[in-house]
């Protein structure tokens, strides 16, 4: 097969008429979107997995010693996927191979579980019971068709716990509508925009898992990178942070301890220069997440309030301003993202764009 890989007559483009080749860029765009969606979902799960691990480890002691994003061993972190189509299958494989999720902690609910034989061989439970999946999982990924979503929401909304995180890939259903359908506010929905087309970066002959082990492709998926022609709305990253705050609030953890924990978890990967100049290494402050007026009335022992993640992703927040005005924080988060996939960056490898999409 290696000998035939570059044979022109076996390439997808070979059978496409010359007048239709102007549309071939859509193939690369679709592939890039799939890779980015799986990468960002995997990164999100890695962060939550390790946050829960740190909360468990420090239940009796607040001495923090947090290493890489793959070093912790928390209580079971359960992930459910609704939808067994192309996206659902690719996401399950990526979480299993590149994420911290073992097969016994990953389940899929789909109308045709018999088509997921390969995933079942890997130990993933596949069945058709959406409400049962939701009542079991900590994070639920919606990978269904827009036409299926209203009925699915009707099935699952009574099974959602307040702490359940719903992560929707259904781009056609906006957040306000999804909030109404689920009667739930703990929802994340990444939004992608198309910029200048540079689709060759996505590696036409690589699967999603192999692509995310390629440093060039992995860096193109970075939340701040416009490479590859696909740009992630940075409001998603804000939602990730506020989701982390909600997890800590559910544990009734004092906000001062939360800030210390998140600083060590999310800002622990950085340039070597930070060791020489600690003043340049950022730490989270209370007013990074809440208004100054609210912060003045919040005692050290009180937890953060519960945040509506749909509102966080639709409106300006204190963290919006903090992210956009702090290149140092952007650098640290970029390094965190790449390091979570085993890619180390140097100062000679900038991946951050100069402009950050807020819509």
Round to whole Å and give the CA distance between 220 and 212.
10
What's the confidence (pLDDT) of residue 81? Answer: 98
pLDDT in tens, 280-319: 678 999 999 999 999 999 998 999 999 999 999 999 999 9
What's the confidence (pLDDT) of residue 312? Answer: 97
Taking residue 146's Cβ as centre, other Cβ atoms within 10 Å add up to 10
Question: Is pLDDT of 180 > 50?
Answer: yes
Q: Which residue has the higher pLDDT, 179 or 216?
A: 179
What's the confidence (pLDDT) of residue 87? Answer: 96
Question: Is pLDDT of 254 > 90?
Answer: yes
Q: How confident is the model at residue 95 (pLDDT cuts 50, 70, 90)?
A: very high
pLDDT in tens, 116-144: 999 999 999 999 999 999 999 999 999 99
What's the confidence (pLDDT) of residue 359? Answer: 42
Q: How confident is the model at residue 328 (pLDDT cuts 50, 70, 90)?
A: confident
Q: Which residue has the higher pLDDT, 268 or 13?
A: 268
Domain boundaries, the chain: 28-58+75-235, 252-341
**Residue 190 CA to its chain's centroid (Å):** 8
Round to whole Å and give the CA distance between 140 and 133.
8
**Residue 12 CA to its chain's centroid (Å):** 31
Selecting from 3.90.1580.10, 3.40.50.720, 3.40.50.1000, 3.90.1530.30, what CATH number does the domain 28-58+75-235 have? 3.40.50.720
CB distance 82 to 142 below 8 Å: yes
pTM of the complete model: 0.86
Round to whole Å and give the CA distance between 332 and 320.
16
What's the confidence (pLDDT) of residue 97? Answer: 95
- Taking each helix axis from N to C end, the angle separating 25-57 and 235-250, rounded to the nearest 10 degrees, works out to 20
Question: Is pLDDT of 74 > 50?
Answer: no
pLDDT in tens, 224-246: 888 778 889 999 999 999 999 99
Closest CA to 243 of 287, 186, 317: 186
Residues in CB range of 38: below 8 A, 6 or more apart: 90, 91, 94, 208, 212
Mean pLDDT across the chain: 84
Question: Is pLDDT of 25 > 60?
Answer: no
């Amino acid at each position: 097969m290696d000998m035939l890989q570059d044979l022109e007559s076996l390439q997808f483009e070979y059978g496409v008429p010359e007048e239709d080749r102007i549309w071939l860029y859509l193939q690369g765009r679709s592939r890039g979107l799939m890779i980015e969606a799986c990468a960002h979902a995997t990164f999100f799960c890695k962060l939550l997995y390790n946050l829960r691990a740190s909360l468990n480890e420090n239940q009796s002691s607040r001495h923090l010693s947090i290493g890489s994003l793959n070093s912790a061993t928390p209580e079971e972190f359960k992930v459910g996927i609704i939808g067994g189509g192309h996206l659902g299958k690719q996401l399950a494989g990526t979480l299993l191979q590149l994420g911290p999720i073992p097969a016994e902690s990953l389940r899929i609910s789909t109308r045709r579980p018999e088509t997921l034989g390969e995933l079942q061989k890997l130990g993933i439970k596949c069945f058709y019971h959406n409400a049962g999946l939701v009542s079991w999982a900590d994070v639920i990924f919606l990978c269904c068709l827009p036409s299926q979503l209203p009925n699915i929401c009707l099935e699952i909304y009574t099974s959602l716990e307040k702490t359940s995180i719903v992560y929707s890939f259904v781009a056609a259903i906006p957040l306000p509508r999804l909030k109404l359908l689920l009667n739930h506010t703990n929802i994340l929905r990444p939004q992608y925009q198309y910029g200048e087309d540079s689709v060759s970066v996505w590696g036409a002959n690589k699967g999603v898992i192999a692509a995310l082990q390629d440093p060039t492709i992995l860096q193109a998926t970075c939340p701040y990178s416009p490479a590859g022609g696909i740009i992630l709305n940075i409001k998603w990253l804000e939602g990730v942070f506020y989701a982390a705050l909600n997890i800590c609030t559910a544990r009734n953890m004092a906000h001062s301890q939360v800030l210390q924990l998140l600083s060590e978890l999310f800002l622990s990967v950085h340039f070597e220069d930070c060791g020489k100049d600690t003043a340049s290494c950022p730490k989270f402050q209370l007013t990074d997440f809440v208004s100054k007026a609210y912060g003045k009335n919040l005692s050290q022992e009180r937890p953060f309030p519960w945040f509506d993640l749909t509102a966080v992703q639709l409106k300006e927040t204190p963290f919006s301003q903090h992210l956009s005005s702090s290149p140092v924080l952007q650098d640290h988060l970029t390094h965190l993202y790449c390091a979570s996939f085993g890619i180390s960056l140097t100062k000679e490898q900038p991946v951050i764009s100069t402009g950050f999409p807020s819509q």
